[in-house]
């Protein structure tokens, strides 16, 4: 009889642990107050999502109310203790006054909180400073990328994409410190062989957004001809 009681207690305790074990979604700050901005200036903010539970957290969907957009998550499965950044952008064009209803929804397998709500609040003021031909600094920062041509100087002079800077592969290491680590960096050469190597090296050196233009200029010309291409005859 005593043995049966002990076995029963073990089963109950085991079931208790099974029921307690679960993912738990958390965010550093569920509400972001951007203060006051002029209409037309985008508001950007990074929410940090974490798994405080003891099972894998799976984020199945991220969606936002009108006016808000989010970038894709770097990963949608978080082990216990892991975190991931969620970049949010609020377009303030057409808005004015106090903003209190711009929400972002995170759906996950958290059994207690399956839909986490994040909120962006603040005040949008109308003014004459922003004109149709203006671009806010925040917009440029969001769209900004670095285009690097790895060809030697002679080949670069023959033809390169508009806006590219010429950094031969042998000199790329000298640019490690000046290059922005979180910005999109696009590398290319004639056929992609050099840029593939360079992108992998930069990825391993702390540049997660370094990319190689697939197929290089050859593939660009095959698909887009001379679009955005500067050559010795056009300069």
* Residue 47 pLDDT: 96
Pairing mode of beta strands 210-212, 184-188: parallel
Does residue 10 lie in a domain region?
no
Contact 212, 195 (CB under 8 A): yes
Does residue 161 lie in a domain region?
yes
Q: Are residues 118 and 154 in the same domain?
A: no
SS3 letters for the chain?
CHHHHHHHHHHHHHHHHHHHCCCCEEECCCEEEEEEEECCCCEEEEEEEEECCCCCEEEEEEEECCCEEECCCCCCEECCCCEEEEEEEECCCCCCEEEEEEEEEEEECCCCCCEEEEEEEEEEECCCCCCCCCCCHHHHHHHCEEEEECCCHHHHHHEEECCCEECCHHHHHHHCCCCCCCCEEEEECCCCHHHHHHHHHHHHCCCCCEEECCCHHHHHHHHHCCCCEEECCCC
> What CATH number does residue 208 fall under?
3.40.250.10
Does residue 136 lie in a domain region?
no
Pairing mode of beta strands 57-64, 159-161: unpaired
* Residue 16 pLDDT: 52
Does residue 137 lie in a domain region?
no
Domain of 207? 144-231
Q: Are residues 120 and 197 in the same domain?
A: no
Of 97, 130, 163, the last residue of a domain is: 130
* Structure tokens given for 78: 């978080």
| Closest by CA position to 38, among listed 134, 164, 103, 105 | 134
Of 105, 130, 155, the last residue of a domain is: 130
User: How many structural domains compose the chain?
Assistant: 2
* Residue 4 pLDDT: 61
* Residue 182 pLDDT: 85
> What CATH number does residue 94 fall under?
2.60.40.10
* Residue 71 pLDDT: 79
Q: Are residues 95 and 161 in the same domain?
A: no
- Tens-level pLDDT at each residue, the chain (235 residues): 556 655 555 555 555 544 578 999 999 999 999 998 888 788 999 999 999 999 999 999 998 887 788 878 899 999 999 999 999 999 888 788 899 889 999 999 999 999 999 999 999 987 666 666 777 776 777 788 999 999 999 999 999 999 999 999 999 999 999 999 889 999 999 999 999 999 999 999 999 999 999 999 999 999 999 999 998 765 5
* Residue 10 pLDDT: 58
Does residue 167 lie in a domain region?
yes
* Residue 9 pLDDT: 55
Does residue 1 lie in a domain region?
no
């Amino acid at each position: 009889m005593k043995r049966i009681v002990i076995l029963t207690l073990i089963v109950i305790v085991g079931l208790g642990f099974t029921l307690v074990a679960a993912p738990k979604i958390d965010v550093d700050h569920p509400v972001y107050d951007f203060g006051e901005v002029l209409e037309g200036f985008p508001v950007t903010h990074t929410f940090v999502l974490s798994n405080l539970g003891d099972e894998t957290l799976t984020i199945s969907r991220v969606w936002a109310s009108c006016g808000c957009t989010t970038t894709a998550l770097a990963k949608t499965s978080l082990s216990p203790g892991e975190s991931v950044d969620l970049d949010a952008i609020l377009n303030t064009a057409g808005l004015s006054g106090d903003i209190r209803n711009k929400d972002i929804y995170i759906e996950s397998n958290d059994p207690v909180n399956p839909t986490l709500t994040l909120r962006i609040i603040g005040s949008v003021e109308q003014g004459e400073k922003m004109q149709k031909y203006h671009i806010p600094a925040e917009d440029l920062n969001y769209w900004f990328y670095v285009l690097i041509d790895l060809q030697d100087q002679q080949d670069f002079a023959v033809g390169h994409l508009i806006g590219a800077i010429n950094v031969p592969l042998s000199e790329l290491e000298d640019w490690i410190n000046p290059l922005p680590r979180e910005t999109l960096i696009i590398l290319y050469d004639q056929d992609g062989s050099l840029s593939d190597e360079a992108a992998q090296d930069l990825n391993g050196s702390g540049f997660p957004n370094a990319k190689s233009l697939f197929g290089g200029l050859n593939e660009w010309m095959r698909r887009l001809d001379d679009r955005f291409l500067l050559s010795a005859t056009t300069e």
